[in-house]
Structure 1
Amino acid sequence: MSAGKCEVCLEEKLKLVTCGRCGNRKYCGAGCQRKNWPTHKHACQPKKQPSWILKITIPDSRDPQIWRTLVCPDGATFQELHYAIQVAFGWAAAHSYDFVARDPTAEERSVADIRALMQHRMALDKGEHRDFGPRQNFIRIINPDDDKMTDSMHAYGRKHSQTPEKKADKVCVGEQFNKKEWKDAEWEYMYDFGNNWGHEIEIIGRGKVDDVFECTSGNGHAIAEDVGSMSGWEELKNAYRAAQPDNEQKKKMHWFENSASNFDPEGLKERESYVDLSIINALLRTSMDCTD
């Protein structure tokens, strides 16, 4: 084994200490490493890690179920992941969002407890921040522009005093997915706190070191923005399935093909499973360039 040279004292040694953050500087020992840090810290960048391969599913969707497989760079922020999900699922980025790491051991919240929910909403109206039900999540990662979104008023049930919150543009995906404290967490992305479009995020592997998002597979046409929750989406699909649609169904189809925020002039007829990866990936490249 040949000797290496310390980058501070220039002493040659068979075994050198490597900067654990960037892996680019070598030292004869911790003393020289500490001595060099005030200078090196300005150039020290964390080593790039393999991308995350995520299967993201809208679990309430049926016949067909809507899902995408997304390659996400380790160093991407959750805000960038939000934009990527918007592109991959064909959303219009018109509403607020959050990410949560659900605690699988948390006590179930009773959705039937309407009285407790109303008491919580009344307390919020008075400026009091009381918790509704037991803590559900390890962390909640929020939209940094949440106060500008009209639907953010519906986020009351997603806040909890024992759940820390971080802004999505300030925290990286790899930092959170690697947390040992919540390695069994169930990740969820919620879009539009009025219609509540929940997306389950399953980490299915690691890919190559990369700086770009990519959608590698998927199924299911993009859901119409503001269609009125999943029941509204089912009604729209049924309109296209009808052999002789009534006037109300015709109005729904016309709205989807001409007026929805993410309208599709080709409609849904025999296209309910439609997804075009080439278009998604072209949009991912251009849209993510715009967020830099």
Structure 2
Amino acid sequence: MVYQKILRFRISLSGSEPEIWREIDVPDHYQFWELHVAIQDAMGWLDYHLFTFSPRKQGPTKGKPIGLPESEHDDSLIAAWDLPVKKYFTTLGNTIDYIYDFGDNWHHEVMLVGMFLAPMDSDYPQCLIGERACPPEDCGGMFGYQNLLEVLSDQEHEDYADMVEWLKGHAKNYWPYKPESFKCKKVKFTDPYLRWCKAFNQPYEP
């Protein structure tokens, strides 16, 4: 039987209490763009904003962040599609910081927690386990999210009706918002190449 190598990551949204987290498996041939898409899908983000991976060790990046270069001549960071994740995640416990939406500044800790072999015909990525719903996009970062939860907990709050209306009218209808609810089976992983083509207005050629 032919096998493929799988990397298991634990993703935790920093500052969340109770903790919002996921555990996912991805093929070891993934590069950081593909890992970004998998994190977005598993967490429940909508990929509306910029992101960056900020290394905690020198390694192959020499400390440079990994993300979306402004042009092909931008050497301030490493293009996410140019670096395989296995080049950085060489040992269990290796960790990188993933920041999504530079306005709301959602900070995630991404840690390699497992490496194993799986049959080549197995379908990856997979979401194994996790807890709590993703915060709504554009809710104002962790401070705004905590305020949202406080407002929704009290139907007599002066901002309750406006908050419900905002959640209903969002690009994704978040209402009813259940912060404690998360089901792995509902996670749908997007084709990273298709996501890339849409992001950069390129024709999709499967």
Q: Same fold (TM over 0.5)?
A: yes
Which of 135, 146, 151 is matched with 1:223 structurally? Answer: 135
Q: CA deviation at 1:208?
A: 2.5
Relative to its length, the structure with more helix (as a share) is 1
Q: CA deviation at 1:290?
A: 3.3
Q: Does 1:82 align with 2:7?
A: no
Q: Which amino acid aligns with 2:86?
A: G
Unaligned runs of 5+ in 1: 1-46, 105-136, 148-160
Unaligned runs of 5+ in 2: 196-205
The 5-angstrom pairing of residues 101-250 of structure 1 reads 101-103=55-57, 138-144=63-69, 165-178=77-90, 186-209=95-118, 212-242=124-154, 244-250=155-161
Q: Which amino acid aligns with 2:183?
A: D
Number of residue pairs the alignment of both structures matches: 186
Q: Give the superposed CA RMSD.
A: 2.6
Q: CA deviation at 1:247?
A: 3.1
Relative to its length, the structure with more strand (as a share) is 2
SS in 2 for 1:82: helix
What TM-score results when the alignment is normalised by the length of structure 2? 0.79
CA distance in 2, matches of 1:249, 1:205: 43
**2:68–2:80 CA contact under 8 A, matched in 1:** yes
Q: Which amino acid aligns with 1:188?
A: D
SS in 2 for 1:218: strand
Q: Does 1:93 align with 2:47?
A: yes
Q: Does 1:73 align with 2:27?
A: yes
Q: CA deviation at 1:101?
A: 1.2
CA distance in 1, matches of 2:171, 2:116: 33
CA distance in 2, matches of 1:48, 1:76: 16
**2:40–2:46 CA contact under 8 A, matched in 1:** yes
What TM-score results when the alignment is normalised by the length of structure 1? 0.57
CA distance in 1, matches of 2:185, 2:8: 18
Residue 202 of structure 2: aligned partner: none
Distance 1:184 1:61, change over 3 A: closer
Q: CA deviation at 1:52?
A: 0.9
Residue 200 of structure 2: aligned partner: none
Q: Which has the larger Rg?
A: 1
Q: CA deviation at 1:289?
A: 7.0
More contact order relative to length (CA 8 Å, sep ≥ 6): 2
**1:78–1:168 CA contact under 8 A, matched in 2:** yes
Q: CA deviation at 1:61?
A: 0.7
Q: CA deviation at 1:48?
A: 7.2
Q: Which amino acid aligns with 2:114?
A: G
**C-alpha distance after superposition, 1:83-104 (max 9, x if no partner):** 1111111111110001121149
